[in-house]
Amino acid sequence: QVQLQESGPGLVKPSGTLSLTCEVSGSSLEKTNWWSWLRQSPGKGLEWIGEVYHTGSTLYNQSLKSRLTIFVDKSKNQFSLKLASVTAADTAVYYCASREQLLPNWFDPWSPGTLVTVSS
Amino acid sequence: DIQLTQSPSSLSASVGDRVTITCRASRDIDIYLNWYRQRPGKAPNLLINTASNLQSGVPSRFSGSGSGTDFTLTISGLQPEDFATYYCQQSFNSLITFGGGTQVEV
């Protein structure tokens, strides 16, 4: 059974870089899955941020693309998110999740979620 | 991007009620539409995949239908744990989008 657990700082200063890591257990990162990041601003809906394949190929939300880097570390069986030049609008609960590469696909499983606050 | 519009944005219901939520896509997405339930403070949980397939372990009171641009999630016999927010999500386009959510309240 695949399990995902995110980790990283819960507080980031404005203009800084938000960095999160998702540890994958119960599965290899090299299976045919997209490894994804999503977020949910307080009281708001779900937003797909982007995702990475084990080859390093990425898909990014166009609205975040200029600030976003998602990459894998196969030696540690984990993948990571870096979001640069953050503002208060990036305050959200961040989730990592997985979906199969081929259609049909869906997000399952999800991590529990971690709140990241952007504040000085 | 493919826009997903859910309606209603919120509804009031009672235990045992039948509830229907709709999701409309801005263009044809075939059957590549999934439904999730999110309880307060928790991660979303997959209920229905590919428009009408009940995810393993999900109670049979949940059902989904539709194709193309119009989709429906039905809960037949609302239970206390179903007072939550529901989201649709399309995977037709590699740029994933979600509906705005429907909050089911007591």
Name the more confident of A31 and B54. B54
Enumerate the residues of chain A whose CB falls inside 8 A of the CB of residue B86. Answer: none
Indicate if the pLDDT at residue A52 is higher than 90: yes
Q: Which of B40, B29, B12 is nearest to B94 (CA)?
A: B29
The identity of residue B49, as a single letter, is: N
3-class SS at A32?
Answer: coil
Helices then strands (H, E): number in chain A?
Answer: 0, 10
- Average pLDDT of A22-46? 93
CA dist B48 and B36 (Å) reads 7
Indicate if the pLDDT at residue A93 is higher than 90: yes
Q: Which of A45, A99, A106 sits opposite B101 (nearest CB)?
A: A45
pLDDT tens sequence across A106-118: 999 999 999 999 9
At a CB cut-off of 8 Å and minimum separation 6, what does A113 contact? A6, A40, A93, A94, A95, B42, B43
CA distance B91 to chain A (A): 7
pLDDT tens sequence across A64-91: 999 999 999 999 999 999 999 999 999 9
In this predicted structure, what is the pLDDT of residue B74? 98
Cα–Cα separations (whole angstroms), residue B49 to A99, B86, B90: 12, 14, 10
- Average pLDDT of B6-34? 97
- Give me the percent of chain A exceeding a pLDDT of 70: 100
Are the beta carbons of A46 and B1 separated by less than 8 Å? no
Q: Which two tokens stand for residue A94?
A: 């961040």
The full DSSP string for A49-99 is EEEE-TTS-EEE-TTTGGGEEEEEETTTTEEEEEE-S--GGG-EEEEEEEE
B97-98 vs B70-76, strand pairing mode: unpaired
CB-facing half-sphere around the CA of A94: CA atoms within 13 A: 27
Q: Does A111 touch chain B (CB under 8 A)?
A: yes
Q: Which of B64, B75, B74 is nearest to B32 (CA)?
A: B64
At a CB cut-off of 8 Å and minimum separation 6, what does A65 contact? A50
pLDDT tens sequence across B45-76: 999 999 999 999 999 999 999 999 999 999 99
Cis peptide before B40 (omega within 30 of 0): no
